[in-house]
Structure 1
Amino acid sequence: MIAKNLSRVLIYGVLLLAAFFFLAPMYVMLATSFKDAEEIRSGNLLSLPHALNFEAWQLAWSTACTGTDCRGLQPFFWNSVLIVFPAVIISTLWGAINGYVLSLWKFKGSEVLFGFMLFGVFMPFQVVLLPMSQILGWLGISSSVYGLIFVHCLAGLAGTTLFFRNYYAAIPKELVNAARIDGAGFWRIFIRIIVPLSTPIVMVTLIWQFTNIWNDFLFGVAFSGADSKPITVGLNNMVNTTSSVKNYNVDMAAAVIAGLPTILIYVLAGKFFVKGLTAGAVKG
């Protein structure tokens, strides 16, 4: 009994220590964002702010300079919103259809095709920058929000296909065969039978894609134009904008603003992510 209690205390101690190291940077960012410049210079990194001062947040959102543009993160934030929602929806739907075909409507060479698609999961995205820029130029959507949506749909397709294919592989094929005997076709089976069973994996894919696209910097800096830069690029430009005095509180507030949507997604829907994974997202 004593050994069991000591083991539990040790486990909780290790978990608390890990939580401390994980949350310490977030605490420093939040605490610094609520301080003014004088309090930052006179205090220490871990001290609490004397009062909640939202001036840095206002500056980071609407008036801080990113290069010569002094509109804060606001335009970059809305660019990311315009990019992330259609890209997440399209890549998720596209992956669901691919996974449905590759698991329940197999054809000759489907396994080989799926194997080639898996290269997209492990391939470093740096190798596609040049050919992708040429394709965007041919399509006439380079340096635009539409171009970034297109890029993220293609970049996420391998991962979403993998998720849905492995999840649908666990669905009894007799269910699909019975529906085909009753006269149901490809799309009716997908919409009436498969989609209602797909809630767990849809939640996994939506959260996964939202996080990847919102936090992306590589494609944002490579393929965006002056009016289509996502928030990660705006944050980088803001932090690297030189001035006579470094406003650490503004930089910290900007970093929290940039990361807030993904934090909220995991806080509000994290349990669905875990349920979806355990329901079959990594099986197959």
Structure 2
Amino acid sequence: AAQPSCRKRYPDIGATFLRMVRELEARPVTTHVTVPQAGRVKVVLDGGALLNWTVRASHAPADFPLAVDELAHGHPERIAAQWASAWLPGSQGMFAHGLSLSVWCSEWVPFETPAEQLAKGQRAFPELPRSVLAQAPQLPFLRQACQAWGVPKAPDSVRAVTRSSIPTLAISGSFDAQTGAQWGRFVARTLSRSTVVTLAGVAHGTFDHPCGAKVITSFFDDPDSPDTRCVTSVKPVPFITAGEGAGAS
């Protein structure tokens, strides 16, 4: 919306995305794409897959509007290829599944019933289908995984609000589709000596960004006054507004 050419070309991309989540959840699309290291593969896109694709797209967002527009015009190949590539062996890096499950299965899942999770999802995202909201975005079938993992529930104190005067840096990317930037602002409300930084257009993992790394390093040097001057220079990448395979508007 802030980039005139993108706004002109895709004036209702948000509404289009939500519509496609609903349509694909009702009628999944099957396509075949060629991806590196795997060759020709079959991809089934339903509403949940499209929603979770945004996590991958947030790290390379330039063609997000184009990809959604193509999908809406009957061309799912771009999204399908990106979705398939995200699940190739080795594509997810050194992910600590055991550690992550131990945290999720002790600190989140036991404190919220499936019905409560669904109700909160419906309040936050009333446009999304019930079947999509029933599985937590990014973490589908987590409850079943927790049953197999079998870690005990954490003490109730783990859910208590943290109130502290210890210098704290809450740094996020505005395009973070995994731990949203609003969470940093939320926790900072009870941290009296906190510094809140949001890097425009950056996804999950601000330490990978040159400015993010600089802010973090300066925080360790001076926790009460980190150097945040580079933050204003960070801008989202220009969105692609045309490309091969795009449907007619």
User: Normalising by the residue count of structure 1, what TM-score does the alignment of the two structures yield?
Assistant: 0.19
The structure in which a higher percent of residues are strand is 2
User: Normalising by the residue count of structure 2, what TM-score does the alignment of the two structures yield?
Assistant: 0.21
**Comparing both chains, which one has the higher relative contact order based on Cα–Cα distances under 8 Å and sequence gaps of 6 or more?**
1
Larger radius of gyration: 1
